[in-house]
Structure 1
Amino acid sequence: MKVRPDQLEQHLQKNLADIYFIFGDEPLQVMESADRIRAQARKQDYSAREVMDVDAQFDWNLLLDAANSLSLFAEKRILELRLPTGKPGKTGSKVLQEYAQRPADDAILIISSGKLDGSAKNTKWFKTLDQQGVLIQCWPINAEQLPGWIKQRLQSSGIIAEPQAIQLLADRVEGNLLAAAQEVDKLFLLHGGGKLNFEQTAQAVADSARYNIYDLVDSALLGDVARTARIVGGLKNEGVEPVLMLWALSREVRLITRIAEANMSVDAAMSRQRVWDNRKTLIRRALSRHSKLRWQFFLKRCAKIDKVVKGVEPGRAWDELLMLSTQIAQ
């Protein structure tokens, strides 16, 4: 059975399927589709969760063992299988077919993957999942569809934006839904719900020709202290709100701290945290410069700066942000 991402909410109001297979080359839609399924499962008392990340050394018997074992406390379970390549291999193909024919009685299985090549859809494992479960293919949003997608996203945050403001966002993100979602989050952070005009949007959305908060994060992770300091100064001169800079830095520091604290390899931890491939090198560089304790210290600094920004504690927000970002870069 095939369900589009925009049909998923309606589908979930009915009975949950035993198996969901979410795939496509639009990471945000894949991630949020899985989030919706998990949320609905929790409403139906699926309280336990097991996550399995497939790599070259993955033991496919873990999936069968999970299917055949019962929860210690008779809890219903969410089993998640992350298949980044979309290629389970010979053993994985057999296991997926076997599981689909005899799914666990007390669990639902959510399989998530990137884009599949054409040949994958002709395989036995894919056809079996199609017959026994629900397939959710996440297609990229094209240029004509993007303004409508952004409008709906804004409305879900309680923001009613002018058409010109929506088009500005669409032009800015150039089809990148994750970037669009981040811009919507920033706008809500700055202006809250209600009406949003073009001028407010233009002031909040970073011009790609200038420094922006993402440049700051990347420069700090890369270890370029001088450029990081220049970007902080540039953002200050451009009138960027300190709260936006702190939001971007805190988000990355929190992610890297989780990776540093994980009791597994860096690659496995990044896979579990759903780190994009194009950011893995930056994060490895940052992790190589600082210990786990240092990242925990940076996270505490973020909490302190948040109080400074809010006026709860004394201090100069821009000085604190400069110190934090350059310390990360050192």
Structure 2
Amino acid sequence: MPVSPEQLGRALGRGLAPLYLISGDEPLLVDESLEAIRTRARTDGYLERSVFSVESGFDWNILRTECQSLSLFADRRLIELRLPTGKPGDAGAELITEFAERPSPDLLLVVISTKLDKGSRDSRWVQAIEAAGTHVQVRPLDTQRLPAWIAQRLASHGLQPEPGVVDLIAWHLEGNLLAVAQEVDKLGMLVGRGTVTRAEVEASLADSARFNVYQLVDAALSGDAVVVRRMLASLRADGTEPILMHWALARELRSLAPLAQERARGKPEAAVLARVWQIRRPLVARALKRLTLTALYRLMRQAATLDRVIKGQAAGDRWLELERLLLAVCGLPHCAVEFSEDAG
């Protein structure tokens, strides 16, 4: 039976399956799913645990012997089988299929794999696990699912976010679930239980240079050149590397371009902004009114030039070029770089 990590807890509440497959490329969710199975297994008396990792030349007979042997202390056993490639080969597929078709009541097998390709998902061994046990399919959390995941995690710490808190965390830590988890853990220690405010989240995030970098990008989007210059000087004095600021700014420009394209085609502003985090919609709306699609393409090419300067692949002062790009985003025309039609 396929389930998501969010559904696994309820499934475990009904009891353990004979075997499990956890597959995916999001390490935090994979590890937490595995830990949830381990916890339930210990409750049910699986007190011995063996771990096997399938590398080149792995001897599947060793695992077969382990599965068939009796526990030294007559305890139920948990066997974790790690498949870094997601492909057990013919011998491994045969053994896993055999176990799925004839599971042992005293042995729990958990297979941990990277993301499975279509061929592997349709393979006999995966189908056998799904028929007899549970397949925990770990998929990256997209922008639609991430807020609910953050809200659930806050709730698990006894925290009730005030409006805007979830969006604030999601925006600044998007794409890094481990950072989100650590931030929620930190808020749990700082706040305890109860309502968590935007001011508390901002104060917590402010300890990170990354948060200040995002503030710099937001200042550029708002068109505040004075604040941009002041923040850039502060970040430079603090030792923040230009590459981090370039990354955050380039990400923002790439996300704005398709929105500007929709706006240029006459799509209503409300529809254009529907894909933007609610907390950021006023800021993005102001930026789109100032920056045309042509201007954004020019800024993206300017950002690409800055990337080469930072990496030493082009001549120039990285701090000066970064300041010019930021001020161009603010709308200062003399800071924008003009490109010829055949420029790279």
| Partner AA of 1:153 in structure 2 | R
What does residue 132 of structure 1 align with? 132
Tell me the equivalent position of 2:24.
24
Asked if 1:208 corresponds to 2:210, the answer is yes
Determine the C-alpha separation between the residues in 2 that align with 1:81 and 1:203: 42
Question: What is the letter of the counterpart of residue 81 of structure 2?
Answer: L
Q: CA deviation at 1:76?
A: 0.7
Q: Could you say what secondary structure the match of 1:208 adopts?
A: helix
Count of equivalent residues = 216
**1:98-136 deviation digits (Å, cap 9, x = unpaired):** 222232331111111111111111212112222222111
Pairing 1:119–2:119 present:
yes
Query: TM-score, length-normalised on structure 1?
Result: 0.61
Structure 1 distance, partners of 2:55, 2:185, is: 33
Letter paired with 2:119: S
Residues 143 and 175 of structure 1 are in contact (CA less than 8 Å); yes or no, is this contact kept in structure 2? no
C-alpha distance in 2 between matches for 1:91 and 1:111? 15
How far apart are the structure 2 equivalents of 1:211 and 1:143? 21
Unaligned runs of 5+ in 2: 215-234, 240-344
Answer whether contact 1:64 1:99 (CA < 8 A) is retained: no
Q: Residue 56 and residue 211 in structure 1: after superposition, are their counterparts in 2 closer, same or farther (change >3 A)? A: farther
Stretch deviating more after TM superposition (110-119 or 3-12): 3-12
Structure 2 counterpart of 1:208, one-letter code: R
In the TM superposition, 1:163-312 aligns within 5 A as 163-205=163-205, 206-208=208-210, 210=212, 234=238
The answer for the alignment partner of 2:294 in structure 1 is none
- Partner secondary structure for residue 79 of structure 2: strand
**Separation in 1, partners of 2:213, 2:9:** 38
**Contact 1:68–1:104 (Cα < 8 Å) also in 2:** no
Separation (CA, whole Å) in 2 of partners of 1:25 and 1:164: 29
Structure 1 equivalent of residue 44 of structure 2: 44
Distance in 2 (CA, whole Å) between partners of 1:46 and 1:64 is: 19
What's the secondary structure of 2:3's corresponding residue?
coil
Cα distance change of structure 1 residues 164 and 201 upon mapping to structure 2, 3 Å threshold = same
Q: Which moved more, 1:122-131 or 1:146-155?
A: 122-131
Taking a change above 3 Å as real, the CA distance of residues 172 and 142 of structure 1, as seen in their structure-2 partners, is same
How far off is 1:52 after superposition? 1.0
- Cα deviation for residue 36 of structure 1 reads 1.0
Please identify runs of 4+ aligned residues in structure 1 that moved more than 4 A. 209-212
**1:27·1:114 contact (CA, 8 Å) conserved in 2?**
no
SS at 2:210's partner residue?
coil
SS of the equivalent of 1:163 reads: coil
The Cα of 1:211 is off from its aligned counterpart by 8.3
Is the CA contact (8 Å cut-off) linking 2:172 and 2:211 kept in structure 1? no
What does residue 104 of structure 1 align with? 104
* Contact in 1 for aligned 2:18/2:108 (Cα 8 Å): yes
Q: 1 CA distance for matches of 2:152 and 2:127?
A: 33
Report the AA paired with residue 67 of structure 2.
A
Q: Is the 8 A contact 1:20 1:133 kept in 2?
A: yes
TM-score (normalised: structure 2): 0.59
Q: CA RMSD in A?
A: 2.2
**Residues 1:145 and 1:15: Cα distance change in structure 2 (over 3 Å):** closer
Structure (1 or 2) with the larger CA radius of gyration: 2
1:111 & 1:20 partners in 2: Cα distance? 6
